[in-house]
């Protein structure tokens, strides 16, 4: 009886372990940038929208957000295939920058920290 319980437990554990990987869906990857890094600042300029609401994000001389909660404009720069938006207002202020990954030659921007500011995390060029 004890041996039967042991075998049953071992088979159940083996089944659970073997099925763990089945529930994971592969994450689709974004197309890589084919353009050289020095071209990205020119390629990213323009308006971006998102799939979840009517917010608009525009990259020109500065980064501008037009949202249902209000509008704001911040300086930005491009570094290591990312758009870095400077969020702090004063040099001594401790506020992290927003970092948006540039993919598909600037047609898609992905921002993991944007939801902290009530902004969508994916932006698509118009």
What confidence tens digit (pLDDT) does each residue in 35-77 have?
Answer: 777 788 888 999 999 999 999 999 999 999 999 889 999 999 9
Q: Which domains does the chain have, with CATH numbers?
A: 37-125 (2.40.128)
Cα dist. 7→4, 18, 19, 20, 121 in Å?
Answer: 5, 16, 18, 20, 48
Chain segment 65-117, per-residue pLDDT in tens: 999 889 999 999 999 899 999 998 888 888 889 999 999 989 999 999 999 88
Predicted TM-score (pTM) of the model is: 0.71
73, 64 contact by CB (below 8 A):
yes
CA distance 21 to 18: 7
The residues that bridge with 124 in the sheet, in sequence order, are: 49, 108
């Amino acid at each position: 009886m004890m041996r039967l319980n042991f075998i049953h437990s071992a088979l159940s554990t083996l089944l659970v372990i073997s099925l763990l990987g089945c529930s994971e869906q592969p994450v689709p990857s974004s197309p890589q940038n084919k353009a050289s890094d020095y071209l990205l600042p020119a390629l990213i300029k323009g308006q971006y929208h998102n799939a979840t609401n009517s917010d608009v994000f525009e990259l020109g001389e500065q980064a501008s957000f037009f949202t249902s909660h209000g509008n704001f404009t911040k300086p930005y720069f491009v570094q290591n295939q990312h758009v870095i938006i400077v969020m702090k207002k004063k040099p001594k202020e401790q506020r992290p920058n927003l970092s948006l990954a540039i993919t598909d030659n600037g047609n898609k921007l992905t921002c993991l920290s944007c939801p902290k500011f009530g902004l969508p995390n994916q932006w698509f060029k118009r």
